[in-house]
Amino acid sequence: MRSVDIFFSRLISSWKYQYGVFRSIADWTIWLYILLPGTAILVMMYRSWWTETPDWIANLPLFLLFFLLYLFSWLGNVRLFVQEADKAFLFKNRSLYLGMRKWGLGYSFLLQAISTAALILLLLPFLINRYFLEWSQITALLVFFLILKWTIMTVSYQMKRIENKFKKYVLGFLLFVLFSWFSQLVYFLWDLGEVLPVYITSAVLLAGTLARIFQLLNRVSAIDFEVKLDQKVKTKYIQWIFMMAPEIEKPAFSIRSKPLFFRKSKRLFKKRTPVTGLIELFLKIFIRNPSYIISYFQIISISAAGIMIIPPLWIKAIVLGIFLFLAYSWLSITWDKAIMSHPFTKKYREKEFYYSARKKTVWGLFLLAIMLLGLVLACWLIVLSKFGILGGFGS
C-alpha cells in the first residue's frame, strides 16, 4: 500500500463522516425550504452585483475589504489525517507515515487556496466595477493572501502545541497585530499599483513557510498532538452544532489544577441570602466554563456581524429580534443546565428564591449582552462616520 492510498482512504472516510453530520441537521425540509431558496437568492444577488453596484458599498473604502481578506486568512487548519493506530504503524512504516502526512498537508493547503480564491471571486464585481482594479492588482492580491494564509496556518499549528493558555492567547494576539502591520505595509504598496514588491514579499513568505513545513513533516515526535488536532478538526462541525443547540451542548472540562477566576472562592455579595447564593454559584460556574463564555460572546459577535454586514434595514431588525430571542433562551437553558446538574442545588427547584435568582441572573446577563451588542454597533458607526459612509448603514 502506498502513502497516497492511505491518505485518500482516510479522506473519503472523513467526507462520509462530515456528510453524515450534515444529514443529521439538514433533512429534505431544510433543503427544500432554506438551503435551495437561499442558494438561489445568493446567486441572483451575486449576478446583480455585476450589473449594478449596491448602495451599501458605494462609499466603502477599499482598505476594509483588504482587512476582511486579512481576517479570513486566520481561518483554516492544518490537517495531517493522523490516527491513534499510527503510533504502532509509525515504527514499522516510517516512509509511508511521513508520505501520508505530506499528502494531508498538501490537501489542507489546496483546500484553503480554493477558499481564498472563492472569496476573491465573490468580491470580484466590487473590485472591478467599484474600485476599478486592474487584473494585475487582483492577481497580486490573490497570491499574497493565499501565501499569507499558508503562513498563518503553519504558525497557528505551532501555537496550538503551547499548553499554557494565557501564553498562547498573548502570543496569538501579538502575532495577529504583527501580521496586521505587515499586511498594511503590503496594502500601501499594492494600492499604489506596485505589484512587484507584493510578489517579492509573497515569495519570501512562501520560502520561509516551506522551510518550516519541511522541518515539521520530517518530525514524528508530535504524533499525540497531531492525533488530538485531527480529531478536533474532524469534529468541529459537531462542536458548532452543540454551541447552537444548548440542550445538547457538552460542557468543556479544563485540566487546570486551579480555576483562572475566583481561585479562593471569595464572596461576590456582602449580603448572604439564598438568592445571592444561587446567583454567585451560577456566575462562578458561568465564568469558569469556557464553553459558556465562548457561546455567550459568539451569540453577540455573530449577531453584531449580521447587523453590520447585511444591507437592508428590515433584515437588520430581524437579526436583532433573533438575537434577543436566542440570547434570552440560551441564558435560561444554561441556568437550568448549570444549576440543575448537581443534586445539592436541584432540590431547591420548587423554592420561590430559586425562580427569583434565575430571573435576576438571566435578565442581568441578557441586558449585559444587549449593552455589549450596542457598544460594538456604536464603534462600527463611529468607524463608518469617520470614513464618511454612515449613510450606507441602513440602505
CA angle 14, 16, 20 (to 5 degrees): 115
Q: What is the pLDDT of residue 322?
A: 86
Rounded Cα–Cα distance for residues 68 and 80 (Å): 28
Cell numbers describing residue 174: 501579538
Q: What is the pLDDT of residue 343?
A: 61
- Find how far residue 16's CA is from the centre of its chain: 23
Rounded Cα–Cα distance for residues 173 and 160 (Å): 13
Let me know how long the chain is: 395
Q: What is the pLDDT of residue 54?
A: 76
- pLDDT tens string, the chain, 395 residues long: the values are 788 888 899 889 888 888 877 776 666 566 666 677 777 878 888 888 888 877 767 777 888 889 889 989 998 888 888 888 777 776 677 788 888 888 999 999 999 999 999 999 999 998 998 888 889 999 999 999 999 999 999 998 888 888 787 888 888 889 988 999 999 899 998 988 889 999 999 999 999 999 988 888 877 667 888 888 888 777 766 555 555 554 444 444 444 555 555 555 566 666 778 778 788 888 888 887 877 888 888 888 888 887 877 666 777 788 888 889 888 988 888 888 877 766 666 666 667 777 888 888 899 999 999 999 999 888 888 876 766 555 544 54
Q: What is the pLDDT of residue 346?
A: 61
Outline where 93-164 has alpha helix (H): 94-129, 135-159
Instruction: Name the residue among 328, 326, 325, 324 with its Cα closest to residue 362.
Output: 328
Q: What is the pLDDT of residue 367?
A: 94
DSSP secondary structure letter of residue 34: I
- Find how far residue 372's CA is from the centre of its chain: 19
Q: Say which amino acid occupies 284.
A: K
Rounded Cα–Cα distance for residues 119 and 148 (Å): 14
Q: How far apart are the first and last CA of the chain?
A: 59
Which H or E run contains 7?
helix 3-25
For residue 166, report the phi and psi dihedrals to the nearest 5 degrees. -65, -45
Q: What is the pLDDT of residue 222?
A: 74
Q: Which residues of 301-323 are buried (b: 16+ CB within 10 A; e: fewer)?
A: eebbebbbeeeeeeebeebbeeb
CA angle 243, 245, 249 (to 5 degrees): 60
Instruction: Name the residue among 327, 320, 325 with its Cα closest to residue 374.
Output: 320
